[in-house]
């Protein structure tokens, strides 16, 4: 079980800090690429070394350590890399501060402390089976050809048959974002498949495309104060998990809990640095670099 939670925890971190391969230009993209390299080359090895030292001292702590880390961060890390109340059923006993020194009460909503960036779909490689008559066909979709969009632009996707890798057993498509109004040429795809003696209907082809496009739509946010938010939630989580019941703990047990807390705080410190940089980019003044509109009073028709 310990190894299972270890794997799930590092997968969660990978999705949070790296996610899908990002391509494109701009401050946001550059920061994400730096974040990926820093995570792989510096933070992950450092965290693994810290955890190894703890487990060398406390041999039986592995399951609890990784279960605690995974359970906590899975509440607040979304698959888009955003930080907020992502997965919080009521029985998890998560609270938010609604009182302060200056205000009697603060309204709560899930995205209160977030800057909204955009809504997008994260397309991942996918294999599906679709029936065509009495036979099932396997369709494979390659998404490595998709480039990260530079802005919150609405772009359709198109499919091109990968003739080289398509066989009788598997039909392979490369997926692209449409440019200049280009659409998927279904007739051409069916013609190429027929030349390979693969006979499927247009309806079957459209069913396969629809299956691919049903992947989850996600929102991208930047948290205004990620460190404060996660630190407060960690304190509540540690208390509810270990100290809400009246139990007597030995000095060794207290030290074990502190070590688990230190690991979580290391992750919070790391992710907060990059979230703070995103906030700076968000606040940076935006300038119009190009415009194709010309407005003159003498040309306006009365």
Alpha carbon distance 254, 250 (integer Å): 6
Q: Do residues 223 and 114 make contact, with C-beta atoms less than 8 angstroms apart?
A: yes
Does residue 20 surpass a pLDDT of 50? no
Sort 218 into a burial class: Cβ within 10 Å, 0-12 / 13-18 / 19+. Answer: middle
For residue range 51-93, list pLDDT tens digits in order. Answer: 999 999 998 999 999 999 999 998 888 776 778 777 765 545 5
Give the Cβ contact number of residue 283 at 10 Å.
Answer: 8
Q: Do residues 163 and 200 make contact, with C-beta atoms less than 8 angstroms apart?
A: no
* Dihedrals phi, psi of 47, to nearest 5 degrees: -65, -40
Alpha carbon distance 22, 288 (integer Å): 25
pLDDT for residue 256: 93
* Dihedrals phi, psi of 209, to nearest 5 degrees: -65, -40
Alpha carbon distance 112, 93 (integer Å): 19
Structure tokens at 239: 């208390």
Alpha carbon distance 226, 268 (integer Å): 8
β-pair partners for 217: 121
Give the Cβ contact number of residue 159 at 10 Å.
Answer: 21
For residue range 166-212, list pLDDT tens digits in order. Answer: 998 899 999 998 888 889 999 999 999 999 999 899 999 999 998 88
What average pLDDT score do residues 82-108 get? 63
Q: Do residues 19 and 80 make contact, with C-beta atoms less than 8 angstroms apart?
A: yes
Alpha carbon distance 195, 98 (integer Å): 66
Torsion on CA atoms 246, 251, 253, 255, rounded to nearest 10: 120
- Provide the pairing of β-strand 157-161 with 171-177: antiparallel
| Strands annotated E in the chain | 114-121, 126-132, 135-142, 157-161, 171-177, 217-223
Determine the 3-state secondary structure of 26 from DSSP: coil
Range in 23-32, 183-192, 223-232, 267-276 with the lowest mean pLDDT? 23-32
pLDDT confidence band for 221 (50 / 70 / 90):
confident
- Sign of torsion over alpha carbons 17, 153, 147, 192: positive
Alpha carbon distance 79, 86 (integer Å): 10
For residue range 283-297, list pLDDT tens digits in order. Answer: 777 666 666 766 666
- Provide the pairing of β-strand 171-177 with 135-142: parallel
Alpha carbon distance 61, 295 (integer Å): 69
Determine the 3-state secondary structure of 83 from DSSP: strand
């Amino acid at each position: 079980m310990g190894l299972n939670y270890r794997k799930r925890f590092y997968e969660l971190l990978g999705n949070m800090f790296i996610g899908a391969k990002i391509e494109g230009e701009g401050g946001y993209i550059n920061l994400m690429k730096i974040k990926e390299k820093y995570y792989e080359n510096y933070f992950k090895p450092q965290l693994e070394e810290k955890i190894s030292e703890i487990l060398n001292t406390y041999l039986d702590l592995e399951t609890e350590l990784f279960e605690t880390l995974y359970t906590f961060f899975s509440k607040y890390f979304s698959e888009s890399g955003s930080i907020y109340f992502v997965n919080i059923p009521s029985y998890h006993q998560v609270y938010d501060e609604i009182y302060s020194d200056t205000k009697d009460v603060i309204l709560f909503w899930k995205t209160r402390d977030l800057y909204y960036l955009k809504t997008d779909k994260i397309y991942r490689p996918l294999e599906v089976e679709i029936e065509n008559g009495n036979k099932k066909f396997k369709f494979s979709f390659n998404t490595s050809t998709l480039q990260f969009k530079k802005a919150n632009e609405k772009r359709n996707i198109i499919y091109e048959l990968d003739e080289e890798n398509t066989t009788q057993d598997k039909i392979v498509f490369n997926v692209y974002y449409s440019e200049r109004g280009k659409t998927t040429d279904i007739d051409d795809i069916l013609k190429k498949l027929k030349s390979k003696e693969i006979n499927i209907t247009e309806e079957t082809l459209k069913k396969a495309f629809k299956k691919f496009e049903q992947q989850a739509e996600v929102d991208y946010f930047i948290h205004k104060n990620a460190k404060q938010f996660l630190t407060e939630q960690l304190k509540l989580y540690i208390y509810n998990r270990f100290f809400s019941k009246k139990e007597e703990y030995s000095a060794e047990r207290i030290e074990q809990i502190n070590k688990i807390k230190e690991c979580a705080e290391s992750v919070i410190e790391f992710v907060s640095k990059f979230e703070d940089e995103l906030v700076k980019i968000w606040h940076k003044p935006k300038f119009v670099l190009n415009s194709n509109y010309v407005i003159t009073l003498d040309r306006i028709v009365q």
